[in-house]
Amino acid sequence: MSKIIFITHPQVEIDPKIDVRSWSLSKLGYQRMLEFSNSKTLANVKVIWASKEIKAIEGAQILSKKLNIDINFSPDLGENDRSSTGFLPPAEFEKMADIFFQKPEQSIRGWETAKSAQKRITSIFSKIKQKSVKIDDDIAIISHGAVGTLLYCAINSLNIDRIHDQVKQGSYWTYCLVSNKTLHSWKLIS
């Protein structure tokens, strides 16, 4: 049974002076992804896709090295575009993220709307599904939490709501290509 495992990058090194898209995995994030690379969950992965953001690339590289698989990249797997505000202190960011999910058709302070990000991530997910070749091969996608939640909501016909968001960075959900359904909601990678 072929599956897609949608994985979010784990913890990152936060540096307000650097564009969020260029942040790297922290030591803990790297270690968690390394541990996950040994998981039975990834035993049948034959294809890896990743966002072009550094933290997702680094996560994908860990899996690529462990599984000896090349990485496919797509900018459409990127996180919702928040470049209009740049870095926000954690409390302010959480408030903005709440509004992002509460008002999915509105741009909050110039952020990409949740509806737009959902359309983008759903479109690339469909293209990745169409490219899947072998029935027993799994696909790993390394991306980001907000778009992963928006995709999860779309697949499961759920209203966009932060209640469906990952508990913390470094989580995954699994989708069955045969039944066209998710097999479970977010789980921690380790």
- DSSP output for the chain: --EEEEEE---B---TTS-GGGPPBPHHHHHHHHHHHTSGGGTTEEEEEE-SSHHHHHHHHHHHHHHT--EEE-GGGSPP--TTT----HHHHHHHHHHHHHSTTS-STTPPPHHHHHHHHHHHHHHHHHH---TT-EEEEEE-HHHHHHHHHHHTTPPP-GGGS-SSSSEEEEEETTTTEEEEEEEE--
Residue 73, strand partner residues: 50
132: tokens are 């899947």
Dist. CA 106–CA 170, nearest whole Å? 27
Is the pTM here over 0.85, yes or no?
yes
- Residue-wise pLDDT tens digits, 73-94: 999 999 999 999 999 999 999 9
pLDDT at 132: 75
Give yes or no for a contact between 132 and 177, defined as CB atoms under 8 angstroms apart.
yes
pLDDT at 131: 84
Listed in sequence order, the residues at least 6 apart from 17 whose beta carbon sits closer than 8 Å to its beta carbon are none
Per-residue model confidence as pLDDT tens for the chain (190 residues): 699 999 999 999 999 999 999 999 999 999 999 999 999 999 999 999 999 999 999 999 999 999 999 999 999 999 999 999 999 999 999 999 999 999 999 999 999 999 999 999 999 999 999 887 666 899 999 999 999 999 999 999 999 999 999 999 999 999 999 999 999 999 999 9
Structural domains in the chain, sorted by start? 3-188 (3.40.50.1240)
- In the sheet with 181-188, reading across from the earlier edge strand, the strands are 71-73, 45-50, 138-143, 3-8, 171-176, 181-188
Give yes or no for a contact between 55 and 9, defined as CB atoms under 8 angstroms apart.
yes
AA identity, residue 157: S
pLDDT at 1: 67
pLDDT at 134: 66
